[in-house]
Structure 1
């Protein structure tokens, strides 16, 4: 689905969501209130200005105090790979955006990611993965790092990683693997109105992050939950 089709399905009566230079912002009527929408469209890389702009919209929502849900729609490239952005502190700007979404969640704004295209690396982490739950549409293509990049970092042969990816989802990009790891909570039905599906996701939001549990149950990350619980227990005990 294109962003226009998604918005038409979410807001059949019209909306005030616009796209400027690949950045999505606005809102529309939803369940007797408003659904705020931010995001990235058109496989756009996320740079310093974009991260700060999106974070600003999230913080404006928190200041409004209405606890309106926030949908983060994502079809992005990775973070912008430029020396300029790196020198301006792109890593801090991406972290600022992620923390703004976490702040909104803590202030009662349900945050839902909707991955409908590509996304990778820092842009994926700071947007889609920073929401309470992440949904996707069929055909979405997420990755934290592609296998050639993993090969360069780990110094392992690409062929070895490709073989490992067949049985270990953490080594492989793609929607099926992200679903198995619990990073993607659910895949939505594009042939059914998206509004009720987003409403149901919000109604069933877990009280805490459940990605580890989903990864264990789906077989994508069988030990992550146990390891996280041991670490958390040691921190509390210390």
Structure 2
């Protein structure tokens, strides 16, 4: 779905959002109240510049409009794979972006993320997965690492990973698998404005992804291990 079509479905034709390069920013009126929107378009790779522009927008929101809800629109192919960005410290820029989103949540901003097209790798981790809750459209494409790359990192044969991905969501890309693992709170289909309204009312403020993964049988070990660590502390 094109970002402007999505914005119109959520906020109406006079949504007030603008795209400058790969970045969407603006303030939309939702149910009579202002809502900040920050997002990316066109499968944007998140490099140092784009990460810092998003972080600046979050910092400005906290400084100028305390408590205003924030909607993160996610469409990214992941971190920018350029030596230039590596030399500039892309890891620190993306960590700064993630920290800004986390700080907004801690300061009382309701932060909802929506994957409306593509969400890959670090670009997704530093934005969508830092929200109070992350949702997705049914046609979205979500993955953190392709199986060939996973095979190189884990030293497990790609054929073995392919077999595991048939029965274990942890090894498989796709929006349904991320719902099963608890990374995606739920899917938005049909009336998107109604889905956003419900998310603002019901999205958890505490991280429940491990518990959801256990409940949905997509990530069975995380919650018990977390509880064992807490019990031993």
TM category (shorter chain) comes to over 0.9
Q: Which residue of 1 aligns with 2:124?
A: 124
Q: 2:132–2:205: 8 Å Cα contact kept in structure 1?
A: no
Task: Name 2:229's counterpart in structure 1.
Answer: 231
Which segments of 5 or more consecutive residues in structure 1 lack a partner in the other structure?
A: none
Matches within 5 A, 1:58-207: 58-189=58-189, 191-192=190-191, 194-207=192-205
TM-score, scaled relative to structure 2: 0.96
- Coordinate RMSD, CA, aligned: 1.2
Cα distance in structure 1, aligned partners of 2:100 and 2:45:
19
- Name 1:221's counterpart in structure 2: 219
- In the aligned structure 1, how far is the partner of 2:131 from the partner of 2:211? 16
Q: How many residues align?
A: 233
Deviations 1:125-156 (A, max 9, x none): 00111111001001100111110100111121
C-alpha distance in structure 2 between counterparts of 1:119 and 1:56, whole Å: 21
- Partner of 2:77: helix, strand, or coil? strand
Distance in 1 of aligned mates of 2:5 and 2:66: 27
> What is the CA-CA distance between 1:13 and the residue it aligns to?
5.2
Gaps of 5+ in 2: none
Structure 1 segments (4+ residues) deviating >3 Å: none
Change (3 A) 1:13 1:120: closer
SS in structure 2 opposite 1:68?
coil
**Structure 1 CA distance for aligned equivalents of residues 124 and 114 of structure 2:** 11
Alpha-carbon distance change, 35 to 65 in structure 1, aligned in 2, over 3 angstroms: closer
TM-score (norm 1): 0.95
Q: Verify: 1:30 aligned to 2:30, yes or no.
A: yes
CA deviation after TM superposition for structure 1 residue 31, in Å: 2.2
Structure 1 position 64, deviation (Å): 1.9
1:179-221 per-residue CA deviation (whole Å, 9 max, x = no partner) reads: 10000001001x32x2221111110122311101110010011
